[in-house]
Amino acid sequence: MSNHVYITKSAKFFPNSPISNDEMEDYLGLINDKASKSKRIILRNNGIKRRFYAIDKNGQHTHTNSQMTALAVRALFDNAAALKSIDLLSCGTSTPDQMMPSHGVMVHGWLPETNAIEVVSPSGVCCAGMHAFKYAYMSIKLGDAKMAVATGSERLSRVLRGDVFEEESKKMEALEGNGYVGFEKDFLRWMLSDGAGAFLLSNEKNENDISLRIEWLEGVSYAHEIKPCMYMASEKLEDGNIKSYMDYSPQEIIDGSILSIKQDVKLLGEYIVPLGFDKLKLIFEKRNMTVDQIDYFLPHMSSEFFRSKISEKLEENGMAIPQERWFTNLSSVGNVGAGSIYMMVEELMYSGKLQKGQTILLAVPESSRFSYMFGLLTVC
């Protein structure tokens, strides 16, 4: 039996038609009829030109997260009967449709053609998709599964709608004379996109097309050192810790839009690049690698703002990677969180650019409490 694990196929699903920057507020709406003060600056810095929303202009959902994920899984197979070959389903997301049941089993529920199989649901933020990927990889590596599907997906558009913040905005207007929500909430309204990606993993190569052999996947968390930076269904306290939505009254949850997603941009700017890419240097040293061995670098970036920051840090660490070896699709699909790395790999895999023997370095930072996942793939 081969001890190698391969991505033999990748797929993605985006809901509805792409939405341009000019159309965003048609879907997300205004907050109490006030245009955002930060939208123009954020869009200029993040470099995103279009994104996808699983809602219509009235804010009604067109797809759930689990539906989108199941559609990405279906796209891996030529026919529904082939779904019976799956031994394991591993699904990562920041935004499950519900707290219970788990995201993974809800995806499984949309795939009735499958058998009774193992299903796991790694939680987290951007790294959740990579954690799902690593679980599937390890299961095949151990011989527990022969064919596994890993996914990463997000559906945040509904909680970015202006009506989510209206009560908080009215309260602020009464207290402070303005109805603008805090930057830590407004910032993310112009960053995020919906969609799902999927990998088919096997212990055998795809004989009809290229495969990507998984050389290694490695992660790290710095939560023991750093307070939360991005959080949802909670509120940040003065000491830097967060207070759960369960400890607020129902009215407080509404008045403070506690269920919304927030980010401490000061912490983000200070730690997200140095922590992760100093760790990458250590990984390369441990594995006796140099960046000269890398043909494609796929960094998950929430914003193009971080491109120069990552580049500068790599150069500082003696790991400079020329921009022609970088590959991202942030501008055309937006930031899909846990799904972004899947969408980059899928686009590159079928771009016609890859040649056997080339290597692909994956880098996924997660700002929620500063976790990172890295990986290396070889085209074969």
Domain ranges of the chain: 6-209
Per-residue model confidence (pLDDT) at position 342? 98
Q: Collect all residues with Cβ–Cβ distance below 8 Å to 367 and sequence separation of at least 6.
A: 125, 126, 229, 230, 263, 267, 268, 272, 302
Structure tokens that stand for 265 in this block: 């941009």
pLDDT at 1: 45
User: Which residues pair with residue 50 across a beta bridge?
Assistant: 20
| Separation between Cα atoms, residue 217 and residue 133, nearest integer Å | 9
CA dist 279 and 273 (Å) reads 10
Tokens representing residue 141 in the block: 């590596």
Nearest to 185 by CA among 248, 249, 240, 256: 256
pLDDT at 95: 97
CA separation for the pair 342, 348 (Å, rounded): 10
Neighbours of 357 (CB within 10 A): 9
In CATH, what is the architecture of 6-209?
3-Layer(aba) Sandwich (3.40)
8 Å CB contact between 374 and 364: yes
- What ranges in the chain are assigned the alpha helix state H? 24-28, 39-46, 65-74, 103-109, 127-142, 166-176, 183-189, 250-255, 265-286, 305-316, 330-333, 340-349
Q: With a cut of 70, which residues of the chain have pLDDT below it?
A: 1-2, 169-183
CA 9/CA 296 separation, integer angstroms: 18
